[in-house]
Each structure stands twice: as C-alpha cells, then as structure tokens.
Amino acid sequence: MQAIPITEQYPHLADVEALSLEAFPQAEYLSPARMIAMAAEDGFDFWALEDDGAFTGYMTVMTNRKTAYLFFLAVAPQQRNRGNGSKALRLMKMLYPDLQQVVDLERQDEHAENSAQRRRRRQFYLSNGYRPTRQFLTYMGVDYEVLCTEDDFDAVSFRSLLKDIRIEGFHPVYFTAPVPEDGR
C-alpha cells in the first residue's frame, strides 16, 4: 500500500467523494474539496491509499511536533475486510515514525443504534496497537474515546493540535473516564 497526496488533480477524486459520503455520517462529513484546502496548510495531510495503483481508500492526518492524529480513515467498501485498514495504520506509522499516533472514536454505548459498529471499530484499533488513554472528548453532540499507540499519551500535545481545527461547530470538551468494562 502507498500513500499519495490528494489534490484537485488526483485521478480518483470521484471515488474519494463517493467514499466520503458513504463512510461518514452527515455531521462528520467534510468534502474532499474542503480537505484539499485544509491540506494546503501545514500540519494537515490528505492521503489517497492505493494498492497496485487501485484506489483503496484515504486517510487524513493532522500533525504537530509530537502527535499524528488520524482525523479520518476510510476504506472503500469493496476493499474492506482484506486487511487494508491495518495496512493503512502501518503506513501511517511509517509516514510519522517519531510521533505518537492518536485516534478518537465514538464512545462505547450499548444503547446506541450503531453499538455493534462501535465495538468492532474499537476492537480494530486495539488489535492494531492502540491503547485506551482514559481521555475522552465531546464535540458536535457526540462523545469520543481517545486511543494512542504510546503508553505515555501526551494529552497536552493532542489538545494543542485540536485547537488548530477550524470547522464550524468544533469546540471539544475534554474529560476522563474509566476504561470500558472489557478492561482494554
């Protein structure tokens, strides 16, 4: 798998748009045009994921001196359940080797409509080396759990990075909570 910067000239831009609409709820959706504009600024990378020249998905990563925050990861429907998400996370580690790798995901809630999806998503990150931080945030009406690849999560660096996100309605509130009942 390789990462290719997405610009207006990227040949699979229509696939990126279709995947964005399919993979994320409307409240989390950002158009590829918006992400391309954000990638023009320092500290925001918009990567196409390709395998043998075929579009597999994309990821966006925000960075500062200590943190690489996986803002979005989306794998094309026909490419799912083939190890491509894990390959993308390994590629991210290669692209940002000296930075703590951080992701946030919807907090576990057995009463949520998508509770099974939330469990699978959390298990995916845990099986790929991410660990609970006991740090959470709320934004746009949803609680998110923060996971990190390092045992010594640098919350100050992560919060500093989030201050640079300029998206309407994005005003995170941070809190700590116990590890979910599975203990991981």
The pLDDT confidence band at residue 154, using thresholds 50, 70 and 90, is very high
Q: Which of 83, 88, 96, 39 is nearest to 59 (CA)?
A: 88
Strands 100-106 and 67-75: parallel
Q: Residue 182: what pLDDT?
A: 58
Asked if residue 149 has pLDDT above 70, the reply is yes
Closest-CA residue to 107 (of 52, 60, 177, 28): 177
Amino acid 157: pLDDT: 95
The stretch 31-37 carries a mean pLDDT of 91
Residues above pLDDT 70, as percent of the chain: 97
pLDDT at residue 30 in the model: 86
What the block records as the tokens of 169 is 């309605």
Write down the residue that tokens 């992400």 correspond to.
35
Token pair 């894990």 in the structure block, residue? 86
Determine the average pLDDT of the residues in 13-35: 88
Residue 95: in which H helix or E strand, if any? helix 84-95
pLDDT at 159 over 80: yes
Residue 28 pLDDT > 80, yes or no? no
pLDDT digits (tens, 9 = 90+) for 89-102: 999 999 999 999 99
The pLDDT, as a whole number, for residue 117 is 85
pLDDT of residue 50: 96
- Per-residue pLDDT tens over the stretch 45-62: 999 999 988 999 999 999
Between 80-84, 156-160, 177-181, the lowest mean confidence (pLDDT) is in: 177-181
> What SS3 state is found at 85?
helix
| Residue 184 pLDDT exceeds 60 | no
Query: Could you tell me which residues are beta bridge partners of residue 68?
Result: 63, 101
Average pLDDT over residues 30-50: 91
Domains for the chain: give ranges and CATH numbers. Answer: 2-176 (3.40.630.30)
Q: Highest mean pLDDT: which of 27-31, 69-73, 111-115, 162-166?
A: 69-73
* pLDDT reported for residue 180: 63
